[in-house]
Amino acid sequence: MLTVDFDRLGVKPGDKVIDIGAGAGRHSFELYRRGADVIAFDQSESDMAAVADMFGAMELEGEVPEGATASTEVGDALALPYEDESFDVVLISEVLEHVPEDERAIAELTRILKPGGVAAVTVPRYFPEKICWALSDAYHEVEGGHVRIYRADELAAKLEAANLTVEHVHHAHALHSPYWWLKCAVGVDKQEHPLPKAYHQMLVWDLMKGPWLTRTAEKLLNPVIGKSVVFYLSKPKAPVAAV
């Protein structure tokens, strides 16, 4: 399940890309399939070990273009171990809402992005997230949980203050909002409750089959109840020095 539209982001074969907070690797795998030289970066050693295994399997199965590379690195998003202006593309999806020092994380991702490079930043959308918080404290009051709810204009201001230009914004995963509302209403730890369990089965069916009905419904509902808000950004090119 991809939150970022890679066609809009414009990732090209050979682009040097980092997926910060890669988690289970869903975006990193798509970047690799598109021929990027991708680094999956996360603080979880176990997640990065699993992602590295999948990178290897993808290569063995011939799922990636010749010349593409993929690696993993464990580290802290507040202190990225890379030189300034190292990457053509930076992606950070569903991470900033977990980070108390979010402006520091934004400054780091901007620092490593090349002038003229592009970035995608996604966070939970204000309205669906607010309902989750209202229905359940357990949804967010966990170790490593969500520490804030972003308004889109608030996050845009922080990104622009870091010298990034917002090029486009859209919403994604409308069909997932009711699922999380159901989970929060019945109890986020009640894995076998029939309502969220049945809804989850529908989401899995939608993911595997991509039927016209649910794909069209989500497209129509994304502007209204999309679970995530996605920012596409660029970093201004360095001014040309006077001769």
166-225 pLDDT, tens per residue?
A: 999 999 999 999 999 999 999 998 889 999 999 999 999 999 999 999 999 999 999 999
Per-residue pLDDT, averaged over 127-138, amounts to: 95
- Length of the chain (residues): 243
What angle separates helix 176-186 from helix 126-135, to the nearest 10 degrees?
10
Beta bridge partners of 18: 39, 90
| pLDDT per residue as tens digits for the range 1-54 | 899 999 999 999 999 999 999 999 999 999 999 999 999 999 999 999 999 999
pLDDT at 143: 82
Closest CA relative to residue 128, chosen from 173, 166, 190: 173
Q: Where are the domains of the chain?
A: 6-126+136-174+224-234
In three-state secondary structure terms, 27 is helix
pLDDT bucket at 62, cuts 50 / 70 / 90? very high
- Is residue 72 within 8 A of residue 52, CB to CB? The reply is yes
Q: How far apart are CA 206 and CA 178, in angstroms?
A: 15
Q: Is the pLDDT of residue 242 over 70?
A: no
pLDDT for position 239 = 66
Average confidence score pLDDT of the chain = 95
User: What pLDDT shows up at residue 221?
Assistant: 97
Position 86 pLDDT exceeds 90: yes
> pLDDT-derived band of residue 55, with 50, 70 and 90 as boundaries?
very high
- The per-residue pLDDT for 241 is 53
- Over residues 112-124, mean pLDDT: 98
Report the range of poorest mean pLDDT among 77-81, 99-103, 207-211.
Answer: 207-211
- pLDDT more than 70, % of the chain: 98
Superfamily of domain 6-126+136-174+224-234: Vaccinia Virus protein VP39 (3.40.50.150)
Confidence of residue 151 (pLDDT cuts 50, 70, 90): very high
